[in-house]
């Protein structure tokens, strides 16, 4: 917080150093995300992570995350980020904080492992499953892919692919993502081909009846 505040001050006072302050801010944001991941990881371990589901506009939320957080990163690597939400309106019950963390981790990985001049696709649609409404999100990339041997371990805590030299990984992101999806009564699967790309598919229920009273924010006292 102190570093972030100092960055605000420098940005306001020193126009010539704007590039440096942007680098500072980017790294502060990255550090804050990492700290939050560690805290969430600990909460999950202790069984203290809970759902706070509320009704809202899921379509706009997904589009905003993609445009605000990842379009600039994609442009920097000359990656074509495509966003396709297959519904004119998409409302439902979901924990928006958990969805933010799930999407952030999956898109961060996609950006990290996709070379320049390739494409990443975020596809969201509403399906009927067991007479309930279900949100399906696919994060597809034309990246380096994952070998069959590695794919067995990608959701394992602290697992890092040592073959990808120069690419940082703490082995927390995908493990935490799976935990968050499971907490949300959903599923996550992955398909990948080396040198072709990877596709993560998430399914989350979005009906009110899919969640217990204590999991719904609008019914908490």
Kind plus residue range of the DSSP H or E element containing 198 = strand 197-205
How confident is the prediction for the chain on average, in pLDDT?
87
What is the model's pLDDT at position 19? 72
Looking at per-residue pLDDT, the higher value among 37 and 97 belongs to 97
What is the model's pLDDT at position 219? 60
pLDDT (average), residues 8-34: 77
What is the model's pLDDT at position 217? 83
pLDDT tens digits for range 150-207: 898 888 877 666 455 444 555 688 999 999 999 999 999 999 999 999 999 999 999 9
Return the minimum-mean-pLDDT range out of 36-40, 72-76, 142-146, 152-156: 36-40
pLDDT tens digits for range 27-54: 888 788 888 888 888 888 888 889 999 9
Quote the CA–CA distance of 210 and 135 in Å, as a whole number: 12
What is the model's pLDDT at position 48? 82
User: Which position has the token pair 């690597």?
Assistant: 77
Looking at per-residue pLDDT, the higher value among 161 and 24 belongs to 24
The pTM score is 0.83
Is residue 81 within 8 A of residue 120, CB to CB? The reply is yes
User: DSSP character for 116?
Assistant: T
Tokens read off for 49: 């992570």
Q: DSSP letters along 87-111, please?
A: -S--EEEE-HHHHHHHHHHHHHHHH
Quote the CA–CA distance of 219 and 53 in Å, as a whole number: 10
Q: pLDDT at residue 221 above 70? A: no
């Amino acid at each position: 917080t102190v570093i972030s505040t100092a960055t605000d001050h420098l940005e306001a006072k020193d126009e010539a150093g704007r590039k440096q302050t942007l680098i500072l801010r980017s790294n502060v944001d990255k550090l804050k995300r990492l700290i939050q991941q560690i805290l969430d990881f600990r909460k999950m371990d202790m069984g203290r992570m809970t759902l706070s589901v509320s009704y809202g506009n899921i379509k706009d939320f997904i589009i905003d995350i993609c445009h605000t957080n990842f379009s600039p990163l994609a442009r920097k690597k000359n990656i074509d980020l495509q966003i396709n939400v297959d519904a004119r309106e998409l409302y439902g019950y979901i924990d928006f904080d958990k969805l933010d963390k799930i999407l952030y981790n999956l898109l961060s990985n996609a950006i990290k492992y996709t070379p320049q001049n390739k494409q990443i696709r975020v596809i969201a649609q509403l399906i009927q499953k067991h007479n309930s409404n279900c949100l399906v999100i696919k994060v597809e990339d034309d990246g380096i892919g994952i070998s069959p041997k590695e794919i067995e371990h990608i959701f394992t805590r602290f697992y890092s692919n040592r073959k990808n030299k120069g690419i940082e990984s703490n082995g927390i992101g995908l493990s935490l993502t799976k935990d968050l999806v499971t907490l949300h009564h959903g599923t996550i699967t992955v398909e990948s081909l080396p040198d072709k790309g990877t596709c993560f598919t998430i399914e989350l229920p979005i009906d009110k009846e899919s969640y217990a009273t204590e999991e719904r924010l609008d019914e908490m006292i």
